[in-house]
Structure 1
Amino acid sequence: MSEPHQDLMISSPATGLTLRGRIRIPGDKSISHRALMLGALAEGETTIEGLLLGEDPRSTAKCFQAMGAEISELNTTHVKVRGIGLGQLLEPLDVLDAGNSGTTIRLMLGVLASHAGRFFTVTGDASLRSRPMSRVVNPLRQMGAEIWGRKDGSLAPLAIRGQNLRPTHYQSPIASAQVKSCILLAGLTTEGQTTVTEPALSRDHSERMLKAFGAELTVDPETHSVTITGPTKLKGQAVVVPGDISCSRLLARCRRDHSRF
């Protein structure tokens, strides 16, 4: 029996051709989230250049718009955020939807828990509702937060009644930028010093950006500790989000589908 016929294609290097052009690397997702959040909590206007136009930052923007912050149409060139000021977020008329964004819901919990006298409910899509929230809920409860949810607050949807929180020194069992950032954001309006100590220093996006917005914050690299002193005020800033090639659409989708952090 003869072998089946196979078509062959032979290519040779092109000669005399030069490709030139520019590409825009998508903005860093972690910094995009924090730029929107801190801009919404600051006094005055924040401008953001290079924002990542993904679903996760869009979820953050929609949540803070629902609580009174003015955020212009999202784009990669120039986004304006008119902040409402620390402690001034409004009770939303509906449930806050974080979509698939763990960063949105976990960081936002620190903000909402410290807004005394206001009530919030937050949820997300089916994937987010299956992911653990106790890693931020438990330290917030140590600060006096009132948070309820499925499995004793370990799963969304979550309901939060804002309180005047008390400062804490939280010894985190894991190195997590989300846990650290959540507690630092709660410490912005908390009287006194709030400290997070990790077994190793996690990413420091929040520390750098909080300092840039005017927060009083110190870092001790020897003890892997970060301390924020509250209450404080944040001032609107001009933020340029650096590019992050790992935030390409394909890789971001893979991380989203497979992450359970």
Structure 2
Amino acid sequence: MIIQPVASLNGTLPIPGDKSISHRSIMFGSIAEGETRIYNFLMGDDCLSTIRCFRQLGVDIEIGPESIVVKGKGLYGLTPANEILDCGNSGTTTRLLAGILAGQPFTSTLTGDASIQKRPMNRIMIPLQEMHAKISGQEERFCPLTLTPSTLTGIHYNSPVSSAQVKSSILLAGLYADSPVTVCEPSISRDHTERMLQAFGVHIEQEGKCVTLHPGNKLSGREVIVPGDISSAAFFMVAGLIVPNSKLTLKNVGINPTRRGLLDALIQMGGRITCVNERELCGEAVCDMIVESSTLKGITIGGDIIPTMIDEIPAFAVASLFAEGTTIIQDAKELRVKESNRIDAMTDELTKMGAHVTAKEDGLIIEGGHPLQGASFESYHDHRIAMSLAVAALMASSPSEIANSECVRISYPHFFEDLKDLAMYE
């Protein structure tokens, strides 16, 4: 993909459905009783992997032009797959599905692509094994994962990482446990699982950084309207701030308190982003965002804000290139075990442009204000790396090329088309 420098960005853009919520709507609808109808579902590769896996487990899922209908089988209605469940590139599918399968009366095996087979699964295997789940993997930490029937018990788990995938895997296994499960985190990670399980009828309690699920409740099918994904909006939030003479309206963006860290960080940098038409959609906070070109200043971020913007940090790193002074990102070691090692990937690729970026074990140090030239980028087959580099390339002195850019299909299939529609060239 060739990215040309632009003079400005202007227009209105509806943001694609939230990937995290789209995954969960299929999963929870599948184990609910009755029909679940989903609107604004994200038809990205990751979410399609979730649909494929649950179809293999016997769930009837109809994809229509306006909505997706999931005909739930109930907590104990899934049936054994005829072959290994392929989760593709989706860590959410792999880890959350493992939680559900831990409580099933049949054996299942989960795998994924080359990236998934390198991502750490022991972070869910350890707590699931504490619940007496029989789960094994390659070298006791990698896919393929095999789960065999077992009787699950409730636990109180102090997670060493703030991860919605870890928390959700445990809570979903807890649906099949003989007593409550409690998960406590160092910082609160995104809470879509808790919100949606409650909407489907499950008894959930939140106290501080701990969440408790009480088993014994059936899930009941319902209508789900998926808000726009702030992780997808992130690239246009940053682009609208750094490209001169720009004004963008981003429609229907989810601003869940556990997901809005990028918005807060960009505003702290001096970014002119205004939320209008704030409302609630199926228990999730939503707004329309007006983004205008801004003069940014470097800041330091770390601690509790990091889990609320972990997927948006590559985009935030691009904003930091155009901020006055130095930006420091810390406490973000989790970036090293995403679809790629995002700390090293962003450092290596942005340096090709002439950016001053230093990798740390847990983050980045970025000196803003240095002129950028076009470059030949590698995406590392990581959708968020590819889209972040595309945004940086908008402000280079010459065109850039991104190899393997088709990976954006994972979360934002029409990203490059949307970017082109908003661009004005010199």
Q: Report the 3-state secondary structure (helix = DSSP H, G, I; strand = E; otherwise coil) of the residue aligned with 2:16.
A: coil
For 1:64, the equivalent position in structure 2 comes to 54
Aligned partner of 1:52 among 22, 35, 42: 42
User: Residue in 2 aligned with 1:32?
Assistant: 22
Aligned to 2:120: 132
Look up the equivalent residue of 2:169 and give its one-letter code.
Answer: C
Task: Encode CA deviations 1:199-235: one digit per residue, 9 max, x unaligned.
Answer: 11111100000000000110002xx110001122000
User: CA 1:195 to 1:123, structure 2 compared with 1: closer, same or farther past 3 Å?
Assistant: same
| 8 Å CA contact 2:125, 2:136 repeated in 1 | no
1:236 correspondence with 2:226: no
8 Å Cα contact 1:146/1:163 also seen in 2: yes
1:225–1:255 distance in 2 versus 1, CA, 3 Å: farther
Matched-pair identity in %: 46
2-structure distance, mates of 1:141, 1:197: 17
Q: TM-score, normalised by structure 1?
A: 0.85
Partner Cα separation in structure 2 for residue 185 and residue 156 of structure 1: 19
Q: Is the 8 A contact 1:191 1:229 kept in 2?
A: no
Matched, 1:149 2:134: no
Aligned position for 1:9? none
Change (3 A) 1:200 1:105: same
SS at match of 2:17: coil
Residue 30 of structure 1 aligns to a residue whose secondary structure is helix
Alignment partner of 2:182 out of 179, 195, 201: 195
Q: Work out whether residues 189 and 232 of structure 1, in 8 Å CA contact, stay in contact via their aligned partners in 2.
A: no
Question: Using the alignment, how far apart are the partners of 2:202 and 2:47 within structure 1?
Answer: 23
SS of 1:39's equivalent in the other structure is helix
1:104: which partner in 2? Answer: 93
CA contact under 8 A between 1:218 and 1:226: conserved in structure 2? yes
1:176-219 Cα distance to aligned partner (Å, 9 max, x none):
11110000000012121110011111111000000000001100
Residues 46, 255 of structure 1: CA spacing in aligned structure 2 closer, same or farther, 3 A cutoff? farther
Deviations 1:72-93 (A, max 9, x none): 1265x31100011102211100
Cα–Cα, structure 1 residues 53 and 199, in superposed 2: closer, same or farther, change >3 Å?
same
Q: Mean alpha-carbon deviation: is it higher for 41-50 or for 246-255?
A: 246-255
Structure 1 residue 253 and structure 2 residue 383: aligned? yes
SS at match of 1:125: coil
8 Å CA contact 1:26–1:245 kept in 2: the answer is no
Q: Which amino acid aligns with 2:90?
A: S
2: distance between equivalents of 1:65 and 1:31?
A: 18
CA deviations 1:118-165 (Å, max 9, x no partner) are 00011000111111000001100000011121102x000111102120
Whose RCO is larger (CA < 8 A, sep 6+)? 1
SS of match in other structure, 2:46: helix
Partner of residue 3, structure 1: none
Residues 232 and 245 (structure 1), Cα distance of their counterparts in 2 relative to 1, 3 Å cut:
closer
Show structure 1 runs of 4+ deviating over 2 A.
Answer: 245-252, 254-257
Higher relative strand content: 2
Tell me, yes or no, if the aligned pair for 1:31 and 1:241 is still in contact at 8 Å. yes
Distance 2:64 2:109 in 1: 24
Q: 1:96 to 1:200 in 2, by over 3 A?
A: same
CA distance in 1, matches of 2:226, 2:214: 26
> Aligned partners of 1:243, 1:25: CA distance in 2, in Å?
5
Which SS does the other structure have where 1:27 is aligned? coil
Match of 2:167 among 170, 176, 180: 180
Aligned to 1:216: 203
TM-score by length of 2: 0.53
Report the CA distance shift for 1:206/1:244 in structure 2 as closer, same or farther (over 3 A): same
Q: Which amino acid aligns with 2:44?
A: G
Question: Matches of 1:198 and 1:62 in 2, distance apart?
Answer: 31
Instruction: Tell me which moved more, 205-214 or 22-31.
Output: 22-31
- 123 and 248 in structure 1: CA distance in 2 versus 1, 3 angstrom threshold: farther
DSSP-derived class of the 1:44 partner: strand
Cα distance in 2 between the residues matched to 1:255 and 1:67: 33
Matched, 1:206 2:193: yes
Q: Which residue of 2 aligns with 1:8?
A: none
Q: Which moved more, 1:248-257 or 1:59-68?
A: 248-257
1:72 aligned counterpart, secondary structure: strand
